[in-house]
Amino acid sequence: MTEQAATDGLARQLIAARRWAGITQEQLAGLSTVSVRAIRDLEQGRVRHPRRETLRLLADAMRLGDVRRAALELAVEGAPADSVMRDAFGAELAPPPEPLRRLVGRSEELRALTRLLATEHERLLTVVGIAGVGKTRLAQEAALLMHTRDRMPVLWVDMGTAVTAPASGTVRSPRAALAGWARSLAVGGPGLDELASVIGDRAALMVLDGHDAVPRLAPQLLELLHGCERLKVLITAREPHRTPGNRLLPLAPLPLPAPEPSADAASPLPGQSLTAGEPAVELMLSYVGHMRPDLLPTDSVVRTVARVCHALDAVPRAMESAASWLLLHSLEELLRIARTRPLDLVDDATLSDMNEEGLGALLAAAVGRLDDTQATLLGDLGALADGWTAEQASAVLAVPAATVAREVHALMLRGLVRRLPATGEGASRFGVLNLVRGLAADRAEAAARQSAALVH
Ligand SMILES: Nc1ncnc2c1ncn2[C@@H]1O[C@H](COP(=O)(O)OP(=O)(O)OP(=O)(O)O)[C@@H](O)[C@H]1O
Ligand SMILES: [Mg+2]
Residue 372 within any structural domain of the chain: yes
Size of the chain in residues = 456
Residue 265 within any structural domain of the chain: no
Say which ligand is closest to the CA of 140: 1
- From the CB of 132, is ligand 1 less than 6 Å away? yes
Residue 309 and residue 402 share a domain: no
pLDDT of residue 166: 46
The mean per-residue pLDDT over the stretch 289-298 comes to 90
- From the CB of 316, is ligand 1 less than 6 Å away? yes
CATH number of domain containing 13: 1.10.260.40
173: closest CA among 65, 20, 66, 33?
A: 66
Q: Are 413 and 250 in contact (CB under 8 A)?
A: yes
Ligand 2 midpoint to CA 13 (Å)? 36
The mean per-residue pLDDT over the stretch 329-339 comes to 96
Residue 85 within any structural domain of the chain: no
Residue 240 and residue 95 share a domain: yes
Work out the angle at residue 344's Cα, subtended by the Cα atoms of residues 339 and 349, and round it to the nearest 5 degrees. 125
Count of domains observed in the chain? 4
Ligand 1 midpoint to CA 253 (Å)? 10
pLDDT of residue 264: 52
CATH number of domain containing 371: 1.10.10.10
Q: For the ranges 62-76, 261-275, 375-389, which has the lowest average pLDDT?
A: 261-275
* Residue 2, helix vs strand vs coil: coil
| 273 pLDDT above the threshold of 50 | yes
Residue 165 and residue 47 share a domain: no
pLDDT category of residue 223 using cuts at 50, 70 and 90: very high
Residue 322 within any structural domain of the chain: yes
Residue 98 and residue 243 share a domain: yes
pTM here?
0.82
Encoded amino acid at 188, one letter: G
Using the Cα atoms of residue 20, residue 25, residue 29 and residue 31 in order, give the sign of their dihedral: negative
Looking at 301, 321, 344, the residue that finishes a domain is 344
402: closest CA among 429, 384, 377?
A: 377
- Cα–Cα dist 451/99, whole Å: 48
Residue 227 parent element (H or E): helix 219-227
pLDDT of residue 168: 45
Residue 337 and residue 198 share a domain: no
Residue 167 and residue 205 share a domain: yes
The mean per-residue pLDDT over the stretch 373-400 comes to 93
Ligand 1 midpoint to CA 349 (Å)? 17
Dihedral angle of Cα 103, 105, 111, 112, to the nearest 10 degrees: -110
The residue segments making up the domain with residue 47 are 3-79
Residue 130 within any structural domain of the chain: yes
